Amino acid sequence: MDRIPILQMGKCLLVTIQVDLQDQTALALQDDLATKIEATGAHGVLIDISALELVDSFIGRMLASISGIARVLDATTVVVGMQPAVAITLVELGLSLEGVRTALNVERGMQLLTAAAKERDLDGGL
Amino acid sequence: MDRIPILQMGKCLLVTIQVDLQDQTALALQDDLATKIEATGAHGVLIDISALELVDSFIGRMLASISGIARVLDATTVVVGMQPAVAITLVELGLSLEGVRTALNVERGMQLLTAAAKERDLDGGL
């Protein structure tokens, strides 16, 4: 069981990270997400990290990388559920997750994605 | 990291099971779910088992037990994402997951819960 499942909800994909990510699992997740975004035409990716008690530079880079991949595939990534202690440690470590959007919980993340989708639809004529 | 995160989406709770469940984790999940149903007033619980390649009698019992607990707390449980091989093995083992509702994927599970909620609202006058 080295693959993290990706759930589809409408035009959004939801990933819950529950285990400490190893290199292989993280790479597989990137691949799977890219494939799934292409296959489903999803416009949003929600990554829930509420189970993580530690986010190191490796996970930080992976989140930024997933966010970048999704962006070029025309999808917005939102990282949700970060524990307060994790946020404190991240900033203390000088990792600010640049380029990664965050939201307090899944519901707020979903609202963010819905708003982003609406904005895009308005620009759709261009 | 021995707790499985429970995500709230509107009036539904979503649980993604990704790791082989040990007794302790399963018990913690039951406790957490019961507490969360009570705290949020959720009327539906979605359990995604798409990452599980094996569902034995222990997990089967746990799913039935969670379903029962949710029912007395006035919430409907739907198990989603079962792999075809898992379904075949379950039936061959004589485990039919009685009392547990299932759906093909999260989206259909969510539709089922929404329909159940509407039905309940119609009966609300009683």
Domain limits, chain B: 6-125
How much is the pLDDT for A98? 81
Residue A13 one-letter amino acid: L
Measure CB to CB from residue A106 to each of B9, B20, B48 and give the nearest one.
Answer: B9
**With contacts defined as CB-CB under 8 Å, which chain B residues touch A110?**
9
The pLDDT value recorded for residue A124 is: 65
Q: What are the distances in angstroms from CA A89 to CA A54, A94, A98, B17, B108?
A: 8, 9, 15, 27, 39
Considering only CB atoms, which chain B residues are within 8 Å of A7?
14, 16, 48, 50, 81, 105-106
Residues of chain A found within 8 Å of residue B4, distances taken between Cβ atoms:
18, 51
Residues A89-119: tens digit of each pLDDT: 888 888 888 878 999 999 999 999 988 888 8
Express each pLDDT in B98-108 by its tens digit: 878 999 999 99
Closest CA to A107 of A5, A14, A2: A14
Chain A nearest-CA residue for B51: A5
Q: In CATH, what number does A6-121 get? A: 3.30.750.24
- H/E element, B45: strand B44-48
Which of B15, B97, B101, B110 shows the shortest CA–CA distance to B56?
B97
Q: Which two tokens stand for residue A42?
A: 């999803």
pLDDT tens, residue by residue, A41-78 = 999 999 999 999 888 888 888 899 999 999 999 999 99
Find tokens 């989406």 and name the residue: B9
**Which of A9, A20, A50 comes nearest B5 by C-beta?**
A50
Q: What is the pLDDT of residues B56-65, one digit of tens each?
A: 888 888 899 9
Which residue of A5, A51, A110 is in closest CB contact with B48? A5
Higher pLDDT, B121 or B76: B76
Q: Is the pLDDT of residue B125 over 70?
A: no
Q: Which tokens in the block code for residue A33? A: 């997400």
SS (H, E, C) A54-82: CCCHHHHHHHHHHHHHHHHCCCEEEEECC
Kindly state the tokens that stand for A20: 């400490």
CATH superfamily of domain region B6-125: STAS domain (3.30.750.24)
